[in-house]
Amino acid sequence: MTLDLFASAEVSPLFFEKQAQKRGFAHVAGVDEAGRGPLAGPVVAAAVILPETFELPGLTDSKKLTALKRDKLFYLIRSQAAAIGVGIVSAEEIDRVNILQATLAAMSLAVQRLKLPADFVLVDGITPIPLPLAQQTLKKGDSRSLSVAAASIIAKVLRDRLMLAYDRRYPGYGLAKHKGYGSAEHMAAVARLGPSPLHRKTFGGVREHVAPR
């Protein structure tokens, strides 16, 4: 069962969670991803179940926050959340199945890895995840739901940390700086060095530089 609701007026940041609880769902998870658009690296998804009394001023869409603010919120969310699950899908798998299916797979993994099983899921975006759970898709959900915003922070911080580690493994591309996104610096490095094993070889800006087998 999926719903796609768009509020026309300002609502509480826990509005959607409370609406699901009123319908009898006990464990409502927010789900979001990071890394759908880059040319390199995995897509990372997180699922977060918040306690009913959760409050964390400043929590919103991770893209609206500085890296320092995201890091601070990351630790606060981890200490207060009822459960957190993470799913990671590699660049190789993204090339094999396409980015949409890889994103949905990462989201599904994140929900399945919650130690407290979710019975209702709030999904950022317009596409439900392929799990037999009651769901609600939310456009711009990371700005409208605290649990989705929390998931966006967890996913973004973890992916950024992965890209910092990958920068040491694959030097020369500037991954620590742009995190795999298609900056001019990154595109020039791919053209000069060729794609690394971390690059998404079906993406424009990379596939042009893949050597034929």
- How far apart CA 150 and CA 105 sit, in angstroms, is 19
Q: Residue 10 region, left (φ>0) first, then alpha (ψ -120 to 50), else beta?
A: beta
Task: Provide, rounded to the nearest whole percent, the portion of the chain with pLDDT above 90.
Answer: 84
1-5, 41-45, 149-153: least confident range: 1-5
145, 12 in Cβ contact below 8 A?
no
Read off the pLDDT of each residue in 10-22 and give the average, rounded to a whole number. Answer: 85
Q: Residue 205 region, left (φ>0) first, then alpha (ψ -120 to 50), else beta?
A: left
Note the pLDDT of residue 84: 98
175-154-75-19 Cα dihedral, nearest 10 degrees: 160
Whether domain 2-162 has CATH 1.10.3720.10: no
Note the pLDDT of residue 211: 81
Please state whether beta strands 43-49 and 83-89 pair in parallel, antiparallel, or not at all (unpaired).
antiparallel
**Confidence bin at 56 (pLDDT 50/70/90):** confident
Alpha helices in 28-83 (DSSP H): 67-80
Alpha carbon separation from 27 to 16, 75, 111, 115, 125 (Å, rounded): 12, 21, 11, 11, 20
Kindly report the pTM of this predicted structure: 0.91
